[in-house]
Structure 1
Amino acid sequence: MSRRTVASILVALVAAGGLFVIEPAPEPAKGAPEAGGSGGSSVIVTGRKQGFEDFTNLALTVSKTRNLTNEAIAITWTGATPTPRTSQLATDFLQFMQCWGNPEAKDFRETCAFGMDLDKPALIGSGGFESTAQAGRRAIYKGDGQVYPIRDPDETPEKTGVRADARMVPFKTVTGERSRDGSAAEPYGTVFDPSAGTRPEEDFDVMGRFLAKETTNEYPYALTAADGTGRVIFEVQNDRLAPNLGCGAPYPAPSGQQEPRPCYLVIVPRGHHNPYNGENVSPRQAAVHGSPFTPALWQHRIVVPLQFAPVEGGCSLDKAERRTAGTEAVAEAVTSWQPVLCANDGPVFGYSAISDFEAAQQVTSPSGSAPGLVYSADPVPSSNPPLVHAPATLSSTVVAINIDYNIINPLHVSGQPPPDEVQRRHGLAVTDLKLTPRLLAKLLTQSYQNDTLTPLAAAPHSIRYDEEFLDLNPDFRYWGRERSATLAGLIVSVGNSAAARDLWRWILSDPDAKAWVQGQRDDGQGMWVNPAYKDLFATPQETFPKSDPGCYRETRFEPIQGRNVEFPLCTLDKWPYMGSMSEAALQTLRAATKGKEQPLRPDPNNPGDATPCCRYADMARKSPGSRFVMSITDSASAAKYGLFTAQLCKTKRDSAGNYVADDCRAPTREAVTAAAATAVASEVRGASVIDPVKAWATPGAYPLTSVSYAVADTSEPAAARKEYARLMRYAAGAGQDPGEAWGQLPEGYVPLPAALREQAMVSASQLENWVSPTTPAPTGGDPGSGDPSPGATPPAPAGVPSGGLTPSAATPAPGTPPVAAPAAQATQGSPLGIIRFILIAALLMGLVGGIAGPILQRFAVRTGRK
């Protein structure tokens, strides 16, 4: 059995649901949004002078405010007072939240998703005072009646609608449900506590019914740099992820029409004056306290309208759809194109994200339910049926990062303290990170102590202790000494893919990385590869294996069984796979790995005498200011979630023996385009592929670049071929225009070079005017015929007569599909094995999805563009 088949079986078992999904129930039809549009939808807003704070110099730019889905937007600002770095967080920061209500209504703050009491970022200094109650919904910081009043004088039922004895600002959902407020009429209760059994309920416990720390998009602590600037990436959530807000769901608009519900970004700047007497606050002596909902602080709010795309999609579901499926690399582009293609009674194209290898199996399958077009970075050789390939997107695989500078306190340094310019970066985002093939190999093989449960001799605790990494990224030599301020494994997605295969090919093309993976100690600290991976690379890898067998175990006595029960914590528990590269990017943004960790705790969802009694704790989400997360994802997903990406570097040693970055590549438009120009012929005539090794050898080319093809089955009926050809033409035409509107090419893609667009247009004509040959041509064409470079007018694909458009006397009438070929012929060059039966079983069992993907996309199904 091949490794590919084994990997596919493993994915099917881990996913508990197979690679196909059941189509969701139909949803109401909706008119298509307009294509194109001029410019973006960024806005600039400013603060104002109110009370004792003057925010008139504060100017914020919100990168996108229209056509929003589940994605991230960048918020940058200038003119703010720098956040002090040498004491605890007390003054001068910003807070962000998403709200659904009427900004003019007195209950507007009740409609805001905020109050989970997320952890504060650790600043360099530990002295001084700390702001309290600033990340919750407590209506007032209860002071001593002198410096702070017992209750804000404007917190009255007449002015705010909240009960006089309320202990928190209640939360109101879009459906009208309202949380308890802790008053005598709606008192707090008690909650389960692993250490104490129970404890009195607090405001964030009440909010736990509506929000979760792992998924809330509130941003309670945004720090300002020494020059008065700042940047945060804010995750906006539509009705699919935040049903309590309902953003983008249909609602009766003031116009009388059903429209997508708008929502609002609310920004609350925090200053450095006592909000009640105007006294200037020094972090060493005092702090500005209270929830942002406290009236004295809430008055400074800045409200930005957000327009959401309709969550139910933009196409009629009364029409039969044309099925497509394929690589996740095209997902953001395809979901942008779909609503425009179906406008004006155009064809509806469904989309299911599956691996490149499964795409090849499906498009060559004789099944009547197989998609007539798939997307793949791997050209698909087949003569039965013949296939037509059209370039669709140009993108890349990237290492996405979400890392905040965590600089050590100078008082804790025995030698030279960090330079002032480094100290000033504390809490800000790392934008420049350099990695090498060998460093990525170490991360992907769980060869650091912090990335495995197996003791490893001579291994650094994590990558930030690796001398090669420190030489390339010297700021990390000033990092905090606490072990928690480090990477907790590299986030990767489950399953096999061309992206994983090409990444490993690139890594193993590096002599140092290959020698290290094969068992040679590195020439820096004598570090070995994790023994569990030493023999894995005898054959090419197409996945990101998690092969370390180590487990941590605890035993608990189970009264109901009368015996001790063992609870293991293993690799897939602590460092789980993500269901897709898109999810990997999302969790990188959230700084949440979804893993488990010690200690073993009683499970609050089970009685004390039931089995299982216990569960390991969820690995805590890192708060802004202390994040250190990295993942392998696609460039479109990284852009969607506003993530910076690492540079891939070649290194050399200087005279002192230190590693020096000799040649670094980032996935810029120029580097990706340069890589596309290195494409070489594949086994399919007219379809070229980018060899990561050749691209790496080409100056300025980003090695992990790929062209994804739209691969169409020529045995489809004439009407289907015409519509698939329309999709190909749109993808290569208006679909290559960059922009944020429906129909445009989303950020993270690079427009296809003119030659590749021309090639796609020719392929579309071949597909639409296809005439079946009387004799099938050899599979894959003639490898020695000299395939053209990308963009040259492609020769006829395998089985395509050179004339292409002239009917043959023996050709069936248009619309008459050829006789279905046996399965063995339908998948030439693409191993299938027993995975077909596993998939059929999964379909019959009605299992849904592989973890979070593959996900059938019909506009509103994927969390990307809905």
Structure 2
Amino acid sequence: MKGAPRTGLRTLKRFLLRLGAGAAIGALLGAAVTQAAQPAAAGTAAPAGGSAVTVSGRGEFKDMRFTVSQTRQLTSQAVTVTWTGGVPTTFAGTQFNTDFVQIMQCWGDDDGTVPANPGPSRTQCQYGASPTTDRASWPGNARDDTRTITYSAQPANYGQDDQYGSEGAFGTGEVPFKSVDGTVIDTGTQNNALFSYNTTNEIDFARTGADGTGKEFFETQTALEAPHLGCGDPVTKAGVTTPRSCWLVIVPQGHLDLDGKPYADRTQVNAGSPVSSTNWKNRIAVKLGFNPVDSSCPLGASERQTVGSELAADAMTSWQAALCPTGTVYGYTEIGEPDARQRLIDHGDSGLAFTAKGVGVSDAVYAPVNLSAAVIGFTIERRAKFGAPESETKISGTKVESINLTPRLVAKLLTESYRNSVWDVVKTKTDSAGNNTLVAPPAYTWAKTNPAGLITDPDFLAYNPEFADLSVSETPATDTDLITALGHSDTAAAVWAWIDADKDARKFLAGIPDPYGMTVNPYYSTNPDLDPGVPIFDPHRDDYPKSDPWCEAAPNADPNAEQCMTDFHPYVDDMHEGALHTRRADTLWKSTWDTLGNPPSYKSPGPQPVGSRFVLTITDAASAARYGLQTAKLLNASGTFTAPTAATLTTAAADATTSGGVKVVDPAKVTAKNGYPLTELVYAAVRPAKLTAAARKDYAGLLRYAVGPGQVSGSQPGELPVGYAPLTPALRQQATRAATTIATWKGGPAHDTSSGPAGGHSGKPSGGGAGSIDGGGTIGGTGTTGGPTGAPAPAGPTPAASATATAAHPAPSYGGGKALAATSAGDTPADPAGRLRYALPIGAGIGALAFAAAPFAGGARPTLPLRVPLPGGGAISVDPARLRRLLPTRPPTPRG
């Protein structure tokens, strides 16, 4: 970063000299721009990767060491908590009995109870919302995963309390929860109005293995996900405003009682609530520093619009924060790439679109901006079968780190072809002699002979032999489906292209049984002879259809209220959300009828039980990395199972072929052994002839930053977040030439605006033809480039980045972090999933206006409204792609 001012200055001088300006003016302006942008790009705070903290236990747990992987610059993400020196966890049947670990997030100042290890009050910790009251299979004893305690003035056992509960029957009570706004909940804490088992991040049961070690991924929540904790909210003390810090609190549960003797009865769970006064004395607190959740850009500032690919979301949000001090605000709205391209076609003055494919108009200019990938992320915990070898039983309950998936296996999941994918379509019938047979409606006889799910599929076991010793309940909520995002995207198109490029997967979709006899669900077959009466399935698509029409009313439910495929396998709003719910092990399957609902409806039971979790999702590499998901190795065209890493993405991108003015990674052509098949190269596309001169300069500045400092991997605002591979020098040079083309375009609109792209004007490149470019770049449909070929990418913003600046803005108020955009669509604790990540929260009046305008929105790809599940039950019929286009963009806000 030390070379950024000099490189920016040289670039600035050349630019101004070509315009006939003097070198002295160039030096002054270049220094000003570089000075404004530098603090955000090279902040002084220590990198997040250097903020790991290791703490020790006390008393019974003095030999334990706990390490939290990141404690500063936090957002809504996952951190890793590991420990050593513990005693192996024991069980009472299937319940956690002794020597396990509990983790929670809390707010507030030091309560003074443990001078050697400052920490918060136990009343200010998000804990106690586990599903014990709803599910007998949850591995608790109705105390250790709640806030329930028993009062005793002189406690003799863990789980007793010397402060709360004295007024309750038999001394039973609850430890209150106090919100950051002062709200106190002292009864019904397990099902309270602030957090529930659908939204809490508490870890009730973390296992210590046979070697005394353990590992968990903990989801840190900001004030946007958990407003009652307020982490990251601005707090002013002594005239200084900083983001509110919070705490990660670890409470180990042991095997000794208060008298120091082992529990007398090992046949039952003995642990009590971790927030009881007795257990709280063993707590270990680690302070957490958060990025601010408020915007780092001035509110009301002029904004340049950018829209499109979710693959650009995390990177764009980081770049936004760094570019704010230049005086230009770059708004970002996530919409599917097909809709973004259509918007650019219909309204070329709408700004910049992120896409992985060509727009299809001759005057589009493309700049590669990031290298990402679609991944299959998962949370899978080992549950050893009865009779499994000791080597497997010893690690039962730990997380699986890697699996291998072929295109055919992914096709099976996406086509709902496992027996239990179409829930309850195959039933067991018992005859008078006690013999059991499987029965199914005529259209579903194929399901009777198919495996129940992935883990019992010989095709899967052939590549993942460990799973032959594991067990899982194969339902729509486990190994029979992938969590997928609703809508059209280039990522979905890439997944289907990978499937279609594999001959075994193509045969399966055509109705040919796999080597083990499994056949495709006919509603997804490409074979007309298997036509079930619906249009023949076409794998050349850009969405994840749920074509099977099976619906059924659940037992004890309203017979007129049926569950259908979007209830069994609900969509999520986007890939980020899929990663979050996979980390929580919550597929949102609305499996139970809630008679107490208003109105009664199907609802999700929440996360899967600890120790037997099995959830898979198609997400993007950045979201998977953010939430600490394990990712599958995918079979590439060379026959190699390859993991998504920076190296494998770069290798695959080297084989990209030009199509429509951009380079596209064709999975069929990823033949290098270390090439990842679902690599995607994301471009920024603009139509400079439709833009004002000021807008062109601003967008050129964004591109120069994105391929300069924005390609430095790191956690600072302005850097490239984890999950992306830096662009190669050749791609960065291509983007720099495109930026020059955009900035120096001739013949643009005659009128300028100061508030964003102008509308309604058109222009022609200088020299006449669409292929004539001044300064270099890439024109859509031509694939031609011009301008300097050996120039390195600039290390910092150029004058184009600050063309609309009228005054210097202060640098962002934080010094690091991933700076990932906050989920800010007005989530409530009862509805964690409803989120348009990059749209400003709007009031009821604006929402009503947008709803009324929806039928008239132009440029939309028709999408039938679907029943989208809401966490905690219920569903709504929406078209998210259309809603996003109606919502306004906003200045960037770091994602908590």
TM over 0.5: yes
Q: 1:794 to 1:155 in 2, by over 3 A?
A: same
Partner residue in 2 for 1:315: 297
State how far apart, in whole Å, the 2-side matches of 1:341 and 1:508 are. Answer: 41
Match status 1:427 vs 2:457 = no
Q: 1:176 to 1:391 in 2, by over 3 A?
A: same
Q: Could you report, residue by residue, the CA deviation over 1:90-138 in whole angstroms, capped at 9, with x for unpaired residues?
A: 11111111111112256711111100134599999x9xx9755111112
Contact 1:121 1:427 in 2 (8 A): no
Contact 1:120 1:623 in 2 (8 A): no
Partner residue in 1 for 2:597: 604
State how far apart, in whole Å, the 2-side matches of 1:803 and 1:760 are. Answer: 12
Partner residue in 1 for 2:513: 521
Match status 1:629 vs 2:651 = no
Partner residue in 2 for 1:647: 633
Contact 1:679 1:690 in 2 (8 A): yes
Q: 1:699 to 1:693 in 2, by over 3 A?
A: same
Q: 1:595 to 1:48 in 2, by over 3 A?
A: closer
Return the offset for 1:43: 2.0
Partner residue in 2 for 1:676: 653
State how far apart, in whole Å, the 2-side matches of 1:418 and 1:640 are. Answer: 34
Q: Could you report, residue by residue, the CA deviation over 1:720-740 in whole angstroms, capped at 9, with x for unpaired residues?
A: 111111111111111111112
Match status 1:113 vs 2:126 = yes
Q: Which amino acid aligns with 2:482?
A: L
Q: 1:625 to 1:860 in 2, by over 3 A?
A: farther
Q: Which amino acid aligns with 1:100?
A: W
Partner residue in 2 for 1:361: 342
Contact 1:36 1:743 in 2 (8 A): no
State how far apart, in whole Å, the 1-side matches of 2:223 and 2:373 are. Answer: 30
Partner residue in 2 for 1:255: 238
SS at match of 1:116: coil
Return the offset for 1:474: 1.6
Contact 1:556 1:566 in 2 (8 A): no
Q: 1:602 to 1:797 in 2, by over 3 A?
A: closer
State how far apart, in whole Å, the 2-side matches of 1:467 and 1:603 are. Answer: 42
State how far apart, in whole Å, the 2-side matches of 1:43 and 1:141 are. Answer: 38
Q: Which amino acid aligns with 1:711?
A: A
Contact 1:735 1:743 in 2 (8 A): yes
Partner residue in 1 for 2:807: none
Partner residue in 2 for 1:836: 858
Partner residue in 1 for 2:333: 352
Partner residue in 2 for 1:441: 411
CA root-mean-square deviation: 3.8
Q: 1:269 to 1:459 in 2, by over 3 A?
A: same
State how far apart, in whole Å, the 2-side matches of 1:852 and 1:421 are. Answer: 52
What is the count of residue pairs matched by the alignment?
722
TM-score, normalised to structure 1, is 0.76
Contact 2:158 2:279 in 1 (8 A): no
Partner residue in 1 for 2:574: 580
Partner residue in 1 for 2:545: 545
Partner residue in 2 for 1:757: 732
Contact 2:413 2:480 in 1 (8 A): no
Aligned-residue sequence identity (percent) comes to 36
Return the offset for 1:700: 1.4
Contact 1:141 1:150 in 2 (8 A): no
Contact 2:89 2:99 in 1 (8 A): yes
State how far apart, in whole Å, the 2-side matches of 1:848 and 1:663 are. Answer: 39
Contact 2:713 2:721 in 1 (8 A): yes
Partner residue in 1 for 2:669: 694
Q: 1:295 to 1:482 in 2, by over 3 A?
A: same
Larger mean Cα displacement after TM superposition, 240-249 or 286-295: 286-295
Task: Could you tell me which runs of 5 or more consecutive residues in structure 2 were left unpaired when the two chains were aligned.
Answer: 1-37, 114-119, 426-443, 527-535, 748-764, 789-802, 804-854, 865-877
SS at match of 1:359: helix
Return the offset for 1:699: 2.1
Matches within 5 A, 1:165-564: 167-181=173-187, 203-205=189-191, 208-252=192-236, 254-274=237-257, 276-281=258-263, 284-285=266-267, 287-343=269-325, 345-366=326-347, 370=350, 372-383=351-362, 386-409=363-386, 417-453=387-423, 454=425, 455=444, 456-480=447-471, 482-483=473-474, 486-524=478-516, 526-535=517-526, 536-538=536-538, 540-553=540-553
State how far apart, in whole Å, the 2-side matches of 1:59 and 1:99 are. Answer: 20
Partner residue in 2 for 1:20: none
Contact 2:777 2:787 in 1 (8 A): no
Contact 2:158 2:271 in 1 (8 A): no
Q: Which amino acid aligns with 2:127?
A: F
Q: Which amino acid aligns with 2:57?
A: R
Q: Which amino acid aligns with 2:858?
A: R
Return the offset for 1:346: 2.6
Partner residue in 2 for 1:732: 707
Return the offset for 1:363: 2.3
State how far apart, in whole Å, the 2-side matches of 1:418 and 1:59 are. Answer: 31
SS at match of 1:398: strand
Q: 1:56 to 1:777 in 2, by over 3 A?
A: farther
Contact 2:246 2:287 in 1 (8 A): yes
State how far apart, in whole Å, the 1-side matches of 2:685 and 2:881 are. Answer: 23
SS at match of 2:343: helix
SS at match of 2:80: strand
Partner residue in 2 for 1:10: none
Match status 1:703 vs 2:713 = no
Return the offset for 1:314: 0.6
Q: 1:853 to 1:835 in 2, by over 3 A?
A: closer
Q: 1:203 to 1:348 in 2, by over 3 A?
A: closer
Matches within 5 A, 1:54-203: 55-84=61-90, 87=93, 88-104=95-111, 108-118=121-131, 133-140=143-150, 148=157, 151-152=160-161, 154-155=162-163, 167-181=173-187, 203=189
State how far apart, in whole Å, the 2-side matches of 1:407 and 1:856 are. Answer: 51
Return the offset for 1:238: 0.9
Q: 1:488 to 1:690 in 2, by over 3 A?
A: closer
SS at match of 2:618: strand
Q: Which amino acid aligns with 1:84?
A: T
State how far apart, in whole Å, the 2-side matches of 1:228 and 1:852 are. Answer: 51
Contact 1:674 1:700 in 2 (8 A): yes
Q: Which amino acid aligns with 2:609?
A: S
Q: Which amino acid aligns with 1:137?
A: R
SS at match of 2:640: strand
Partner residue in 1 for 2:761: none
Q: 1:851 to 1:282 in 2, by over 3 A?
A: farther
Task: Could you tell me which runs of 5 or more consecutive residues in structure 1 were left unpaired when the two chains were aligned.
Answer: 1-30, 182-201, 410-416, 558-563, 607-613, 652-660, 782-791, 806-814, 816-832
Q: 1:232 to 1:565 in 2, by over 3 A?
A: closer
Contact 2:339 2:859 in 1 (8 A): no
Q: 1:104 to 1:603 in 2, by over 3 A?
A: closer
State how far apart, in whole Å, the 1-side matches of 2:675 and 2:772 are. Answer: 28
State how far apart, in whole Å, the 2-side matches of 1:217 and 1:729 are. Answer: 39
State how far apart, in whole Å, the 2-side matches of 1:161 and 1:109 are. Answer: 19
SS at match of 1:226: coil
State how far apart, in whole Å, the 1-side matches of 2:481 and 2:882 are. Answer: 19
Return the offset for 1:300: 1.5
Contact 1:397 1:499 in 2 (8 A): yes
Return the offset for 1:380: 2.2
SS at match of 1:364: helix
